[in-house]
Structure formats: C-alpha cells, structure tokens
Amino acid sequence: MARLVIETPRLILRPPEAEDFSGFCALMADEASAKFIGGVQPPEVVWRTLCMMSGAWTIRGFSMFSVIEKETGHWIGRLGPWQPEGWPGTEVGWGLLSSAQGRGYALEGASAAIDYAVDVLGWTEIIHCIDPKNAPSVKVAERLGATRLRTAEAPPPMTGIVWDVYGQTADGWRARSE
C-alpha cells in the first residue's frame, strides 16, 4: 500500500510514524501547546494517543496527519480528519508546537486536510471543536470559512468538556475556492 503524503507549499502531511513519538511528547509536554488538546500528558499517555491515531488509519481509513515543516524536516504538530466513536461530527482539527504557532501553518495544513476530507473521504460537513477560550483556534476556523454552529459535549472519557463547534458544508468549502 502506498504511503499517503499531502504537500503544501511549506508542509508535508503524512500518517504518524513511530519516529514521531518524541514530537508528540514535546507537543503534550508544553503547557501552552497542550492546553486545549487534553492538557499536559506524560509519555505513557502520549504513546497511547499516538497509537490511537495510527490505529484509526487502519480502522477508519483516516486520522490526523503528522505535520512536517519542509524547510527543516522537523515534526511540528498533528492535524487533520478526526472522528472517534461518539464524536460530534466529522472534524478537521489541529495542534501545533508552540514554536510553530502564529506562522499560518494551522491554516495551511487544515486547508489541505479539508480538501482531502471533502474530495477523498466524501465528507459533507467539516467541523472544528474548539474551547471557547481558545481565541487563536477560533481565528483559524473563521479564516477557513467556518462559523459557530452549536455547542457539543465531548464524549467519554473527556466528560464535562463543552466545545463551541465551528463548521461548514463541503459545498460551502468548495465555493470558497471557486
């Protein structure tokens, strides 16, 4: 089976690999980058998350991509299609290292991931589950053309977390690029 790779002008998106573990650990060890994606986590928990995302590629045929910065070859985050059991919809989400934030990478990578979700996976709605206090992610969602649709409670084991759900239809997404 050929390895899926999506390239943007500055990024390479590909399924996670074992070599990405240290990057995942760095993402989840940094309080600022982990704040809205589960909080700081020890390597043992991060390992399970990496395996869960990798396993979703086998079980569902899609999951988040590892994000590689072309210029340096460094792992800088994970983003892409995400829909675990009980999730409030077909999400394209993102989480980048603090050092990669504020450079337009989330917008660039999420745009490519939405194209993939719409054109390859056939999704008719794309959502982004965002903590209301996460202003930078709200800004990315709005720049993607998403609007606030509803609130949703996270499924177990994340009980008690309530997100603002931003999103748009596939037709709305396609109309932006015409």
CATH class of segment(s) 6-176: alpha beta
Under the banding of pLDDT at 50, 70 and 90, the label for residue 100 is very high
Put the strands of the sheet holding 125-130 in their side by side order: 6-7, 11-14, 65-69, 75-82, 91-96, 125-130, 162-169, 147-153
Q: What is the mean pLDDT of residues 115-143?
A: 97
pLDDT at 121 over 50: yes
Question: What pLDDT is attached to residue 178?
Answer: 63
Report pLDDT for 3.
81
- pLDDT value, residue 160: 87
Task: Indicate the pTM of the whole model.
Answer: 0.95
Query: What radius of gyration, in Å, describes the C-alpha atoms of the chain?
Result: 15
Local structure of residue 5 (DSSP, 8 states): -
pLDDT higher than 80, residue 1: no
Query: What is the average pLDDT across 88-101?
Result: 97
Q: Where are the domains of the chain?
A: 6-176
Residue among 168, 152, 150 nearest 160 (CA): 152
141 pLDDT band, cuts 50/70/90, is very high
